[in-house]
Structure formats: structure tokens, C-alpha cells
Amino acid sequence: MQSLLRWGIENSTPQNTNTNTTATNNTANAPPSRRPDLNPEIIDLLLGKSDAVLMKEAMAIAVDEGNTEEDRVSALDNLEMLIEQIDNANNLSNLKMWEPLHALLTSSPDSVTVQALWVIGTALQNNPSAQDAYLKLNPLPTLTSFLSPPPPPQSTTPDSNSNSPSPNFTPPKSPKSKSNSKPPPPSKPLRSKAIYALSGLLKHNAPALLQLDVNDAHGCDGWDRLCLALQDPDITIRRKTLFLLNALLIPSPDPSPSPSPSLGNLHTPSQNSQTQNLHTPAPAPVHPIHPNSHSIHLSDPARVSTSAPTYQALHTHGIIDTLIVGLTRSLPYGGDGDTGDTKEEVDGEFEEMGVG
């Protein structure tokens, strides 16, 4: 609507009281043309900049390392609010913004990376078109790399058990390292927002789940990383991971239901038999698939079926056993397991989601 109003103003015909009727008629019949007497800056002040322009400006600030972290984070926050609208989220591809946005995950301070993960997760939510566009960048190795939790804290005194792991706690088995370097473990905000971005990418997206199983030099050990997240020192990370797994296990409707019999053929016998078409269902109507954010769900209904591969992965990668341990044995939790209260009982919310 804003673009239409802008076009109308720029192509409107200025009034001229000195013109005669013939001139007026000629002007009315002439094709619209841009008015040279209008200043684009004035129009921007009256109508505001378009969302596409605002998105490009925000991204330019975010990727400029010469700007302060505060300015870059603020720009990404503005971008996140803009792409809450699904049309703007899909416009990330047209504006070629997925590549620089994803690059922020590996070349920025933590505060900028956290905000970039937030933008990515919001753009992907319930948006198959954005999921496919982002998946082309093979983002899963980067996203899952943030799920490596810090090691469990060690007790400072022999008699102090306030922050030490339970005697029955088994340290998580880390996936195979792709390099000899050992970067510092990701912070809690990074781990939390990585789960948020993964949720947006994996929900109702069976092709993305298949990439979680890739275990070569370009793979991500995705399921093993999610298993690690279930043993994260921070209970909120465990809850979010379990919530994601529950969402992936929800069965999807049958993608190819059998057509119901049509009453139109019940009383239309053929020339060869009076009863041949009595129970023959009419062919299902074929509707055109118009391009939109969810058109892939119509052309490939099986895409949303994530329950079967998730169920198999839970057993193959030991996630079920890890969950049982988390539900039956006390694991320390708090702020990264080293601040706040360490409780002996299993977290109630985690237990409810795990049992359910």
C-alpha cells in the first residue's frame, strides 16, 4: 500500500488552472510519468522509506566492522522486527542478504552473533521458502557448533557439593572434532539462540533433518550435538532442546489421503455395464499451485513429515538413553551450572516434557 501511494504521488499530474479543456483532456489521456518537480527526500519524509530500503540499511550497518557493537546489534534488532513480516523475510533472498547474515555467525563478536541468530530464527519460523533459501548455504555445521556446552564445573573443596555433578552423572561424549584447535565453549546466549535458529530451520522440514546425519568433513554431527544439548549445564538449554525434539516428533497428516467417493457417478452407468461405475471414485480435482511461501507444502506434502527420521535418530544416536538419564538422575543446573542454586531433584518442566 505504501509503494502504491508513493507511485501515485510521483506520477500524479499537477493542477494547472490556466489550461483549457482540450489540454486537460490530452493530459488525462497521456500515460503517467514521473513528476520532476518532486524531491525524493521530501517523499521519504512524508511516507517513510520502504521496508526493503530499511533492511538494506540495517544490514549495511551490521556487517560494517567499523561500527560499534552497540550500533551493529541495534541494526540487527531493527532488521529482526522488519522480517517478522513474512514478505520481508522472503525478501532476504531477493536482496541477497542471506550470505552476509550467515557470515556474521563466524566473524563477529558474541553480541552481534547472538543478534544475527535471532534474525535468522525469526525469518525461518513457519516459512518453507526461507528455510529452503537458507539451507542452500549448508548452515547446519555452523548452527550446531554452538551447542557444545562447557565442561561441568568442578568442586573447589572436597566437601563442597553445591556445584559439583551428581555421582551418577556421565559426561557427554563429544562429536568428532574436525580440527585440533579447541576454541572456547560458546556462551549461554549463543547456545540458546542457536537452538532458536535450529528450531526455525528444522520444524516441518524433512530435507533439513537428513543433513543432520551427515558426518563427513562438511557435516555437522547434528544429532550428536543435540544429544549434548540435552546435558547442557544450563537447564533452559535442556528445556529448549527437548521442546524442539518434541516438535519434530509430532506426526504429520497423511500427505496423500485417498479421495472420497463421488456421488456424481453413483447413477451414471456406462453403456457396457449398469453397475460398473457405481463405486468408482471421481478423480481428485487438480488445483494450480501458485508460488508463495508455502507452495512447497502442496507440491511436496511429505516434506513436513519429520517424526519418522527423528524417532530413528533418537535411538541411533543414544538420545533416548541420554534423556532417561536426565529424567532419573540429578544433573546440576543454574547459570551455566556454576551460578545460582544447584538442585538435587529433576527440573519439573524438563521432566514433564520428557515424560510426555
What is the residue extent of each domain of the chain?
Answer: 1-14+23-48, 208-251+294-356
Question: What parts of the chain have a pLDDT lower than 50?
Answer: 17, 155-172, 177-179, 255, 257-278, 335-342, 344
pLDDT tens column, 90-108: 999 999 999 999 999 998 9
- Name which of 149, 169, 315, 121 is nearest 238 in CA terms: 149
Provide the 10 A C-beta neighbour count for residue 198: 29
Q: Which amino acid is at 314?
A: L
Cut 0.75: pTM above it: no
- The residues pairing with 335 across neighbouring beta strands, listed in sequence order, are 339
* Predicted pLDDT at 29: 60
Could you give the CA distance from residue 301 to residue 255 in angstroms, rounded to a whole number?
5
Is 133:98 a contact under the CB 8 Å cutoff?
Answer: yes
pLDDT tens column, 147-180: 987 766 554 444 444 334 444 444 445 555 444 5
